[in-house]
């Protein structure tokens, strides 16, 4: 039995596999289907984009599919970069380039105005019209300079105040326990275990 994670982002794949470890199925990602073209994420919300990806990859493969859309919401930037987090500095921009753009936009902003949150929406799409959404958020602050070498994306500038560390300074286990994606996937995992989807024909 297979569960498809609809992403090629290696950081996400590693996190998701760890959070779903122990479920009775083989977890695979988009790299198993190199000939399936990417789909454009045209939604205006994280939930819409997660459903777009989940529906598409389920229709292409017939597999029970998990798709997530997540991003950084910064209050001082009226919610930007939001659903455009991965494309904030251009389609081909690196994590470092996206961080540089974010910090430039926030240049001069006082600490109390640097509030932000990571948001994650996870869609589960399967046979017989199955569609479920699980969400998670994590509140934090945007630093003036990166700190830490772990994680990916905006992790080096996102400080989680209860621990006084950026996401890039946390171990994977620490991050998974408090992160937006960890919280959303905890809901997904609970649903899969209770619904017994992985023991039937849907996976």
Active site residues: 69
Question: Beta strand pairing status for 165-166 and 158-160?
Answer: antiparallel
Q: Tokens for 32?
A: 């198993």
Number of other CB atoms surrounding residue 106 within 10 Å = 18
Q: How far apart are CA 125 and CA 51, in angstroms?
A: 8
SS3 state at 121: strand
Three-state SS letters, 68-106: EEEEEEEHHHCCCEHHHHHHCCCCCCCHHHHHHHHHHHC
Helix (H) or strand (E) holding 4: strand 2-5
CB neighbour list of residue 93: distance below 8 Å, 6 or more residues apart: 87, 101
Q: Tokens for 60?
A: 């292409």
Task: Tell me how far apart the terminal alpha carbons of the chain are, to the nearest angstrom.
Answer: 5
């Amino acid at each position: 039995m297979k569960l498809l994670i609809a992403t090629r982002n290696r950081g996400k794949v590693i996190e998701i596999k760890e959070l779903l470890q122990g479920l009775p199925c083989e977890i695979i990602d988009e790299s198993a289907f190199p000939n399936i073209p990417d789909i454009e994420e045209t939604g205006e919300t994280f939930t819409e984009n997660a459903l777009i990806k989940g529906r598409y990859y389920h229709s292409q493969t017939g597999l029970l599919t998990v798709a997530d859309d997540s991003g950084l919401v910064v209050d001082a930037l009226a919610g930007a970069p939001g659903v455009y987090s991965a494309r904030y500095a251009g389609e081909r921009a690196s994590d470092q380039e996206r961080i540089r753009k974010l910090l430039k936009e926030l240049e001069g902003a006082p600490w109390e105005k640097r509030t932000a949150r990571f948001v994650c929406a996870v869609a589960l799409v399967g046979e017989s019209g199955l569609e479920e959404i699980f969400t998670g958020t994590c509140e934090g602050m945007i630093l003036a300079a990166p700190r830490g070498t772990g994680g990916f994306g905006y992790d080096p500038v996102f400080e989680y105040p209860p621990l006084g560390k950026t996401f890039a300074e946390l171990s994977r286990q620490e991050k998974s326990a408090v992160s937006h994606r960890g919280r959303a996937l905890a809901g997904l995992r609970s649903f899969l275990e209770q619904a017994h989807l992985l023991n039937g024909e849907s996976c």
